[in-house]
Structure 1
Amino acid sequence: MAINKIFLTGGTGTIGTEVARDLVAHGYAVRGLARSDASAAKLQALGVTPVRGDLTTLDVARAEAAAADAVVHLAIDFARVIDSGSEEQAFVEAVGDVLKGTGKTFIGTSGTYIGVGTGKTPFTEADDGRPGAFRYKFESTFRSLGDDGGVRAIVIRPSLTHSDKIDGFPRTVIAKPRELGFAPVLDGGEEKWTYNDLHDVAVLFRLALEKAPAGFSRYHGTDESTSNRQIAEIVAAHWGVPVREATREELTEAYGFFATFFGKDNTVSSVATREQLGWEPKGARFIDLLKDGTYFKQL
């Protein structure tokens, strides 16, 4: 089935903006969900046609899904990540119902963090993650749509995403120790976190759109693994503060949702993704941008 018309959610987020830019640059006609005038203006600047609504306006979602060749879903509210889960699940199910039996493409965004705490054996695209983990039900819905619903259902699992502009999680990791007066680690900080360049992840979404098979498939956007302690030592040296053991309570107060990453290994493989889609990460590595001062110059 030829794909030209795409309905995109989350097109003004960090990853969504880059995905939108890449899709438009490659000739796709993209319509993007916009919940405010500011979001609509940002989408228009990217070459995306804005559609007013949010994840709760299911009539809009159904109409856009029916008219599109593919739906690419990236919207997530990290400010209320748990509370918004039921709204997002209702959105996914509503869109899925429209797409059932059509063979159309539905791409959903999860994350390699679904495998957090599964141990140091690399977490692969074939692994489902821990039952009850964040995004586990979300991924299961896509699997059902692909296996039994006649939908080309794709799940993309990006790792922690960065670019040469400090934003999102990298900003928190680097700036927070200056505020706290120490760079925190938990249980020694030897757990490894996994990173990937923002543009590389955007390319992965497009390659999945273009090359994934019918049915259900899943891909990992990950390139490098770096221990939290190594990051903490670089950041601490720059700010002139110590590396210190922190309690889980301190981390939760300082980092909110992201505190769940501390003390838990997230060693991830993207071998299958590279082999199946021909994906080749080319962007700068997070640890190199940290070491050469690119991020510190922006704070």
Structure 2
Amino acid sequence: MRVFVTGASGFVGSAVVRELLGAGHQVVGLARSDSSAAALTAAGAEVHRGDLDDLDSLRRGAAAADGVIHTAFKHDFSDIAASGAIDLHAIEAMGAALEGTGKPLVTTSVFLVPPGVFATEEDPADPVSVAPFRVPSEEATLALAERGVRATLVRLPPSVHGRGDGAFVPQLIDIARDRGVSAMVGDGTNHWPAVHRLDAARLFRLALEKAPAGVRLHAIDDEGVPLHAVATAIGHGLDLPVVRIPPAEAAAHFGWISHFVSLNLQASSALTRQRLGWKPEEPGLLADLAEGHYFEDGRTSKL
């Protein structure tokens, strides 16, 4: 297939590009900068200039492709609702270009269920979730299945880990370096699901190739890693003591990430594995932390 990929130079998207090329697909990656374009060219992909705000460019990219994988998202935490609206409009634009063709559109979501729920692929998006601003995008994707698009979505967990990770785990490592302790909130018995980026990339490819229209897919290897285990691994990696932070002091210690460190999220990928034959092969989160690369070069977070 000739596949149009948004977010093609990002942490997940770049792995998706390599996975697609390795499977014999042609890839056209969306690039908004010269550096992104150069990275795509070096990887062996074609370049399509534009960004998520350029809906005409997105329509052209989708219309010229045999399928679309949408991994881009503008993480503007100063106005995250606006980021959600940009994502929705991008999905609508690309979906309109594919309407009636039966071509695949695979979009990216997160776990849009309330904390404390053991999430499955059958759980619809719930506004009472960690990311309500992404609910409209998930609903819009599934609605495209009724308009002649083989639309599916992949829900990613809080930790998509591996070399080059710049999200929540590196943020925790940076905080531990600054504070001189590796911390958890309370007893750390809350959980995060997790998946390695290369396993996630494989799932995106399988979704493109054979997922039925209108399904949710869960990119989940670890169903729920206790946060005390993450804190312990970080303490070991940095040779720092591991401590418990009372919930009332979490914001002062962790800053804006305190909400995420306090979440209790668990999820299954049983239906995804059954539908697509997907089987994670890469190290789990704790094994990845034990390899040591998260602690190699000073600051690691990009958030």
Q: Could you tell me the TM-score, scaled by structure 1's length?
A: 0.89
Instruction: Indicate how the Cα distance of structure 1 residues 296 and 69 shifts in structure 2: closer, same or farther if over 3 A, else same.
Output: same
2:14 alignment partner in structure 1:
17
Q: Does the aligned pair in 2 maintain the 1:161–1:198 contact within 8 Å?
A: yes
* CA distance in 2: counterparts of 1:240 and 1:139, whole angstroms: 41
- Deviations 1:92-111 (CA, angstroms, capped at 9, x unpaired): 11112222222111110012
The alpha-carbon deviation at position 286 of structure 1 amounts to: 1.4
Instruction: Indicate how the Cα distance of structure 1 residues 253 and 155 shifts in structure 2: closer, same or farther if over 3 A, else same.
Output: farther
Q: Does 1:125 align with 2:124?
A: no
Q: Does the aligned pair in 2 maintain the 1:128–1:136 contact within 8 Å?
A: no
1:108-147 → structure 2 map (5 Å cutoff): 108-112=107-111, 114-119=112-117, 122-133=118-129, 134=131, 135-146=134-145
Instruction: Indicate how the Cα distance of structure 1 residues 230 and 253 shifts in structure 2: closer, same or farther if over 3 A, else same.
Output: closer
1:45 alignment partner in structure 2:
42
The alpha-carbon deviation at position 145 of structure 1 amounts to: 0.8
- Deviations 1:211-251 (CA, angstroms, capped at 9, x unpaired): 112x2111111111211112113323544234131557754
Q: Secondary structure at the match of 1:103?
A: coil
* CA distance in 2: counterparts of 1:296 and 1:187, whole angstroms: 24
Instruction: Indicate how the Cα distance of structure 1 residues 70 and 128 shifts in structure 2: closer, same or farther if over 3 A, else same.
Output: same
Q: Does the aligned pair in 2 maintain the 1:191–1:263 contact within 8 Å?
A: yes
* CA distance in 2: counterparts of 1:126 and 1:47, whole angstroms: 37
The alpha-carbon deviation at position 262 of structure 1 amounts to: 2.4
1:269 alignment partner in structure 2:
268
Instruction: Indicate how the Cα distance of structure 1 residues 43 and 246 shifts in structure 2: closer, same or farther if over 3 A, else same.
Output: farther
1:222 alignment partner in structure 2:
220
Q: Does the aligned pair in 1 maintain the 2:190–2:262 contact within 8 Å?
A: yes
2:55 alignment partner in structure 1:
58
Q: Does 1:68 align with 2:78?
A: no
1:138-157 → structure 2 map (5 Å cutoff): 138-146=137-145, 148-157=146-155
Q: Does the aligned pair in 2 maintain the 1:116–1:261 contact within 8 Å?
A: no
* Matched length: 290
Instruction: Indicate how the Cα distance of structure 1 residues 144 and 254 shifts in structure 2: closer, same or farther if over 3 A, else same.
Output: same
Q: Does the aligned pair in 2 maintain the 1:118–1:130 contact within 8 Å?
A: no
- Deviations 1:137-170 (CA, angstroms, capped at 9, x unpaired): 1111111111x21111110012221114554332
* CA distance in 2: counterparts of 1:236 and 1:116, whole angstroms: 30
Q: Could you tell me the TM-score, scaled by structure 2's length?
A: 0.88
Q: Which stretch shows the higher mean deviation, 134-143 or 239-248?
A: 239-248
* CA distance in 1: counterparts of 2:113 and 2:294, whole angstroms: 28
Q: Does the aligned pair in 1 maintain the 2:186–2:244 contact within 8 Å?
A: no
Q: Does the aligned pair in 2 maintain the 1:189–1:228 contact within 8 Å?
A: yes
Structure 1 vs Structure 2: percent identity of aligned residues?
Answer: 34
Instruction: Indicate how the Cα distance of structure 1 residues 103 and 84 shifts in structure 2: closer, same or farther if over 3 A, else same.
Output: same
Instruction: Indicate how the Cα distance of structure 1 residues 255 and 280 shifts in structure 2: closer, same or farther if over 3 A, else same.
Output: farther
The alpha-carbon deviation at position 53 of structure 1 amounts to: 0.8
The alpha-carbon deviation at position 83 of structure 1 amounts to: 3.0
* CA distance in 2: counterparts of 1:52 and 1:143, whole angstroms: 27
* CA distance in 2: counterparts of 1:56 and 1:165, whole angstroms: 26
2:244 alignment partner in structure 1:
244
* CA distance in 1: counterparts of 2:82 and 2:15, whole angstroms: 26
Q: Secondary structure at the match of 2:193?
A: strand
Structure 1 unmatched ranges of 5 or more? none
Report the residue type matching 2:245 in the other structure.
Answer: E
1:36 alignment partner in structure 2:
33
Instruction: Indicate how the Cα distance of structure 1 residues 249 and 43 shifts in structure 2: closer, same or farther if over 3 A, else same.
Output: farther
* CA distance in 1: counterparts of 2:285 and 2:268, whole angstroms: 17
Q: Does the aligned pair in 1 maintain the 2:114–2:128 contact within 8 Å?
A: no
- Deviations 1:179-216 (CA, angstroms, capped at 9, x unpaired): 12333322422111111111111111111111112x21
The alpha-carbon deviation at position 52 of structure 1 amounts to: 1.1
2:301 alignment partner in structure 1:
none
